[in-house]
Every structure is written in C-alpha cells, then in structure tokens.
Structure 1
C-alpha cells in the first residue's frame, strides 16, 4: 500500500513538472505565407507564394478571390481577405528603423562638417588677427617714415594692399560664420527629426507588443 502511494505521488510530481514545461510563453509569428493559385479554389495548382509585407498588384476581384500580379511578374488567384491597402506593422516598423538610421547618419555627417567648419573658421580668424597685427605694424612704420618720400610711397602701397587683403579676409570670415549658422540650424532640425522618428518607432513597437496578446 505504501509503495502504491509513493508511486502515485511520484507520478503526480512528474505530471506537474511536465505541465509547467508545456506552459512556457510563446508568440504567434507574423511571417505568414499565402498561396497564389491558377484558379479560385484551394484545389488549384500553386504558382507562387506571397509573404507578409509583399506588394502585389490587384488585377481582378471575384467574390472571396482576387487575381494578383507579384513583383517578380507571376500572376494568379489568392484569397482577398489577406490583402490590405496599407503596409503591415512590421513593414512600417522596418521603414521607421531605416529612416531613423538614415537621419542619425545624416546628423552625424552634418555634425562632422560643422566641426570642420568651426576649425577652418578658427584658422581664418587666427590668420586675420595676424594680418591685422601686421597692418598695425606697417601703418606705424609708415607714420614714422613718411618723411622719406620713396619709403613713404612704398609703405603706402603695401598698406593699401594689406588693407584690401584684410577686407577680403573679413568677408570670408563673415561667409564662414553664415555657413556655420546654416549647419547648426540643419543639425537642430535633423536632431528634432531623429527624436520624432524615435518616438514614432517607440510608439509603433508598443502597439505591436499590445496587439500580440490578441
């Protein structure tokens, strides 16, 4: 009798253990396949297979069946209830992910260009400062040597030349500042785009998680 009870207890334990293993979580796949046939019946020959997210061209509808043309040119009948006007959630999510990655790469590229422009602008400003210093030295020497006619004319010509170079450098720096401002504006706009696409992607993923319970 005791041996029989021990046997029952052991079998109950094994049954409960097996039940707990079988009760693990699982998800229904969205990688579905749909048969494209030569006619409007499941008994007709299969000519192609359409998968979730494939784009097809609707050629004709007859009751529950729709005649379609696939991207590879194959044609046939498939059940129309599997066709929807908009891309499925997975395709939209992949599109969002690609756009998000493209925006991040573009943002990174603009950020690099802006850094290069800042460095170039810094070098131009340094050169401009040096030219201003040289101009001040030249003008000072010009004032001291203006009594000497020959040297006065030469220094005057050199000062005029340097003044023109200085004006050109000033215009170049202003142009660099304008380009840098434009890059910063583009970076801000792209940063906002990355954030918006990230939010849309996050919302799409949350909706997908909720829909998996139905």
Structure 2
C-alpha cells in the first residue's frame, strides 16, 4: 500500500512538473467536465481569457486542466490557446498605453520643473553676484570712511594746535602791549618829574650871567 501511495505521489509530481499554461479561447464561457466527453457532468464554467494549467492532453481531444483556484477537470483542447485572448491583449495594451501616456506627462512635468529650476538658479546667481558687489562696495566704503575719519582726526588735531598757537600769540601780544603801555606810563611820569627840574636849572644858569 505504501508503495502504491509513493507511486501515485510521484505521478502527481511528474504531472505537475509537465503542466503548461494555456488560455481559454475568446468566447463567453466554456464548460469544464469531470471526464473526456460530453457525457460527463459539467463541474465548472470557465470564462474566456482565463489562464489554466494543462496537466494532460489526451488523444480524445480533451485536456485535463487546473484553474487558478486549484480545481481540476477536462475541456476540449481546441478551446485552449497559447496566447491570451484578444480582448485581454487589447486591455493589456491599453493599460500599457495609459501608463506610457502617464510617463510622458510626468516627463513633460519634470522637464517643466527643470526649466523652472534653471530660471530660479539663474536668478539666484544674479542676486548672489549683486550681493557680492554690494558687499565689496560696502567694504570699500567702510575703508574710505575709516581713512576719512583718520584724516578728520588729524585735521582736528592740527586745527587745535593752530588754535593753541593763536591763543599763545594773542596772549603774548597782549602782554607786550601791556608792558609797552606800562613803560609809556613810567616814561611819562619820569619825563614829568625830570623836565621841570631841567627848566629850573636853565633859568638859574641864565639868571647868573
């Protein structure tokens, strides 16, 4: 008994290994029977375009198949095709075409975004160039202001020195005028004292002759 089960298992594995994928012809539905003739009962109705695994092909013109759900039965071999049904191929082609159109639209959108990014990049580069020029001018202006402040400080120092010299000159002139005025007063006093005496002496000398 065990040997029989082993042989049956090996045959089942061999049958599965030889399975070939076929497609139900492009018709509404086709019957799948429990045997290799119309006398066997229908165990399922297969829609057109369904992919099934062909497990065995008999000389009777029937093929034993297995559906995607795992159900097995017999169907006329002429109802099996090597390629999917025309409507399925058409649907697949339409789906591919739709995806292709979507990819084309995405490509156009990406190209438009790329062009926008190029414009933004160009504007940013121009702005950066202006900022650099402005920064360079600011540095130059700051240096010029620094030099101007230094020149102003030097000029203020020189001006203060000139003002001090002017004050010194004025102070010296006032002192000299004061001294000259005092000397003139003293000279006047001395002359006022000396001249009368000289006159008296002259008179005395003249009176003696």
Instruction: Give the CA deviation at 1:133.
Output: 1.0
Q: Distance in 1 between matches of 2:75 and 2:94?
A: 30
Counterpart among 99, 104, 112 of residue 102 in structure 1 = 99
Instruction: Give the CA deviation at 1:148.
Output: 6.7
Which residue of the partner structure matches residue 136 of structure 1? 133
Instruction: Give the CA deviation at 1:107.
Output: 1.8
How many residue pairs match? The answer is: 121
Q: By percentage of residues, which structure has more strand? A: 2
**Corresponding residue SS for 1:56:** strand
Instruction: Give the CA deviation at 1:88.
Output: 2.5
Counterpart among 120, 126, 130 of residue 123 in structure 2 = 126
With normalisation by structure 2, the TM-score equals: 0.52
With normalisation by structure 1, the TM-score equals: 0.51
The answer as to 2:57 corresponding to 1:50 is: no
Counterpart among 71, 90, 93 of residue 90 in structure 2 = 93
Q: Distance in 2 between matches of 1:32 and 1:42?
A: 18
The answer as to 2:17 corresponding to 1:32 is: no
**Runs of at least 5 residues in structure 2 that lack an aligned partner in the other structure:** 1-25, 148-209
**Runs of at least 5 residues in structure 1 that lack an aligned partner in the other structure:** 1-29, 151-214
Instruction: Give the CA deviation at 1:98.
Output: 0.4
Q: Distance in 2 between matches of 1:149 and 1:99?
A: 73
**Corresponding residue SS for 2:81:** coil
